[in-house]
Chains A and B, each alone.
Chain A
C-alpha cells in the first residue's frame, strides 16, 4: 500500500518516517554514494523536509520498502537551490507544479531493468495523488532513461536542459504533464491493479477550510 504522509498526519507515521529516512540513506548515500548528504546518524533528512513536503511510503508487512517525496515548487526546492544549472528554461515555480524527488526502492524489491512491482505502485501512487490534488505538472531531476519511460506511460515529457553528469550519474531536469489519461494508462501498462492510495491526508487548502469550521 502507498501511504501519503504530510504535516497533517505525520504524527501517525513517526515509526514509518524513521524507516523512510533510513531507506533514503541506504539508497542515496550508501549505495549511490551521494556523499554530500551523508548523515552520521544514518537518517537522510535535508532542508526540504519541511511541513510542506509530501512523503509517499510503500509499506509491506509493516516495513517501508519504497519512498518518494513531492515538494512545492512555490518554495525553495532542489532545482532552485541545488541544481539550477540543470535548467536552461525558466524553472517552473507555482502552486500547480511540485517537484518529485528521492524516488527509491529497497534493493530486494527492485525489478532489474524494468520497474519492479513496488516501483510501479509507488510511481502510480505519486502520479495519481498529483492528479487528485489538481497539479498540472511534476518537475524532476533524473536519469534520462526516464524520458522514454514516462513518454511510453502516456505523460508528455518536456526537458528543461541537456543531460549532464553529476558525479558519475547522468541527470536531466524535466517536467511531466499530469493528465488523467496518463495516470490511467500508466496503471494499465504497469499492471497496478485494485488498490488505491491509502490514507490520503487533506491538502493545505482543505486543512485551512477545516480549521475555519
Chain B
C-alpha cells in the first residue's frame, strides 16, 4: 500500500476517535499543513439570507480575514463559494474562472485573500444526508497537489467534517435527532390526540380522568419543549414516532 493511502487511513482512524473540538482543530491544521496549506475553514454553505458566521463549524482562517470576510458578506460574492453548489468533486480555487473586469466583487474577494497569503486553495464540497451543503476549504501560499493528493484530502475532510459536526452538537447540548423519551401512557395520549380526540374522550378511552390526561400533556410538552398539544403532535410526526 502506498504512503498516501496509509496516511489517509491512519488519519481517518484518528479522526474517528477525536473527543474534543480543540484537538480536532489542531489535527485539521496538521492535515492541511501536509499539503502546503496554512489555513482551513469548515462550514455549512450559507443560504442567500444567511451569514458565514452562523454556519461556521470550525475556523482555521486568519482572524482578521475571517472578520473582514464576514463583515462584508463576501461569502455571497466569492466565486469559489458559488462554485461549491455546482459540483460534488473537490476543486482548486484557481479552477474557478470569472471575468476580472466584469465581476469586480468577485475579484475583490480573491484579491484581498492574497493579503493573507491565501493565494490558492482546495474546496471539498460535502453533501449531507438531509440535502444540506457544507464545505471544507484549505488555503495556502503556493500549495501544489496531485490528483491523488486531492482525493486523499477529500476523503479525510469528509470524516473531519462529520466528527466536527458531531462534537459541535454535543457541545450544544445534545443531538437534535433523538425524540425525547416519553412513557407508553403518554404516547397513547399523543396518538389519540392526533386522531382528534379531546382530553375528555381520551380519558374515557383509557379509563382515566380528563385531569390526568391533561397532566400527561403537561409532561409531554415539557419533555418535548413545546407549548401546545398541537406542537407536540407535530413534533411526534416529524420524528417519525407517529405515523
Contacts and interface: CB of A to CB of B under 8 A. Distances in A.
Contacts of B208: none
A61 interface: no
Interface stretch (B19-27, B75-83, B114-122, B153-161): B153-161
Given A111-B131, A113-B127, A162-B148, A148 B158 contact: yes
A149 B151 contact: no
Interface in B159-173: 159, 161-162, 165
Interface string B217-242: 00000000000000000000011100
| Residue picked from B9, B125, B239, most chain A C-beta under 10 Å | B9
A144 B155 contact: yes
A175 B218 CA distance: 45
Given A88-B5, A164-B151, A151 B159 contact: yes
A56 B240 CA distance: 23
Interface residues of A, number: 34
A161 B5 contact: yes
A182 to B, nearest CB: 12
Given A145-B126, A163-B154, A88 B179 contact: no
**Secondary structure call for the A interface:** loop
A145 B240 contact: no
A147 interface: yes
B88 interface: yes
A151 B178 CA distance: 16
A113 to B, nearest CB: 5
B42 interface: no
Interface of A: 88-89, 111-115, 143-145, 147-149, 151-153, 156-157, 159, 161-164, 170, 172, 185, 187-194
9 contacts: A115-B129, A115-B131, A145-B127, A151-B158, A152-B129, A152-B162, A153-B129, A162-B5, A190-B129
